[in-house]
Amino acid sequence: MTRFSSPVTNVTMVKKNIFQILRERYDGLSQTYQKIADFIMNHMEAATFASLGELSRRIGVSDATLIRFARELGFKGFQDMRETMVSYIRGVIYPSHKKLSSSGKVEVPVLEKVWNMDLEFINQTMEGIDREWFENAITEITGARRVYAMGWGTSAFLAEFLCFQLDRLGYDAVALVRERRPLIERMLNLKRGDVLVVFDFQLYVREVVEAVEYMRSHTKGVTLITVTSDATAQIVQYADYSFFCVFWAVVGRNEALMGSLSAPMCFINAICEAVIAKCPEKAAEALKKIETDVMNNRNLFLPYSRRAVKIKDRA
């Protein structure tokens, strides 16, 4: 196979994104390398977030072939190529730190500004979700012995909300958030057949990474799903399925950095809807039980009609 007489370096490639590089080199690649290029171009997010072993398995080539492919394109190795793919994801598919207002322009009302920002975040997130990975993740969740969800700080809200929803749908779901015990201790409860969903937004915490590393090295047969805003987050390399939600924006005259949970929450809603669609009988039975045993319990809730009458009478 003919090699570059003068290998391309990152200095010369910096102005080209990974798509441009692959398209320009495609016709000169071998059939095996074209197969790799096709997968990357058709499944950019999946290829970017997958580990070397996972990506080679999905494409049907060896790890060494993927490394040689990266070098054939002029990269130092697979990790070097992956960083270029991450740059494409962050800069082209998910342009981050978008300014929602700037000096010299008419200010948009705050309500409308935030509304538009969140809609944009949700749309960008949806467009980037790998549908095959999403379906596989739902299969893992519905077939799990137990579903754990972990998060720190802001991400803890997401972990708790996912578990709250799955629990109502009849699944054994446990939220792992920082309380009195370190997260790595909570990993001791995971067993083969479990699913661990890790949310990692805003500030990346060393304890979350260490807990995931411990789980990966000490517990076999646990499926790890990561949901983060940054493709370079350390936990991504350990994931079986990794998803990316737009989170950050620069807002206001002072260009303050603000995070939004709209896209991650929408993604959680999508997970729950997909779980219901996959196992409708189980979900219907669980929701019916909540309705009959909880919602109709007058010791817990006031009947809506009576409450409405009392308020009306007072008026």
Give per-residue pLDDT as tens, 184-209. 888 988 999 999 999 998 667 788 98
pLDDT top residue among 92 and 80? 80
**3-state DSSP assignment of residue 199:** strand
Same domain, 268 and 209: yes
Last residue of a domain, one of 67, 93, 119: 93
In a domain, 303, yes or no: no
For the chain, list the strands marked E by DSSP.
147-151, 173-177, 195-200, 223-228, 241-244, 248-251, 256-259
Distance CA 159, CA 227 (A): 10
Asked if the structure places residue 302 within a domain, the reply is no
Quote the CA–CA distance of 173 and 176 in Å, as a whole number: 10
Residue type, 48: T
Domain-terminating residue out of 93, 127, 159:
93
| CA geometry: angle 14, 20, 24, nearest 5 deg | 115
User: What are the pLDDT digits (tens) for 290-303?
Assistant: 888 887 776 776 66
Helix (DSSP H) and strand (DSSP E) numbers for the chain: 15, 7
- Tell me: the pLDDT tens digits for 91-113? 655 554 444 444 445 455 777 77
Same-domain status, 142 and 87? no
Residue 300 lies in a domain: no
166 within 8 A of 191, measured Cβ to Cβ: no
Q: Are 130 and 157 in contact (CB under 8 A)?
A: no
Q: Is residue 264 part of a domain?
A: yes
CATH code where residue 175 lies: 3.40.50.10490
127 and 258 both lie in a single domain:
yes
Regarding whether 118 and 74 lie in a shared domain, the answer is no
- For the question of whether the overall pTM of this predicted structure is more than 0.95, the answer is no
The number of beta carbons lying within 10 Å of the beta carbon of residue 46 is: 20
The pLDDT value recorded for residue 297 is: 72
Statement to judge: residues 231 and 275 lie in one domain: yes
CATH number for the domain harbouring residue 35: 1.10.10.10
Q: Which is more confidently placed, 268 or 255?
A: 268
Domain co-membership, 129 together with 69: no
Same domain, 270 and 168: yes
In a domain, 289, yes or no: no
Q: What does the block give as tokens for 206? A: 């060393």
The pLDDT > 70 percentage for the chain reads 79
- C-alpha 178: how far from its chain's center? 21
> Quick one: 164 and 267 in the same domain?
yes
Residues 42 and 166 in one domain: no
Measured between alpha carbons, how far is 240 from 230 in angstroms, rounded to an integer?
16
* Structural domain range at position 61: 10-93
Asked if residue 291 is part of any domain, the answer here is no
Residues 149, 73 within the same domain: no
Clarify whether residues 197 and 252 are in a common domain: yes
Domain count, the chain: 2
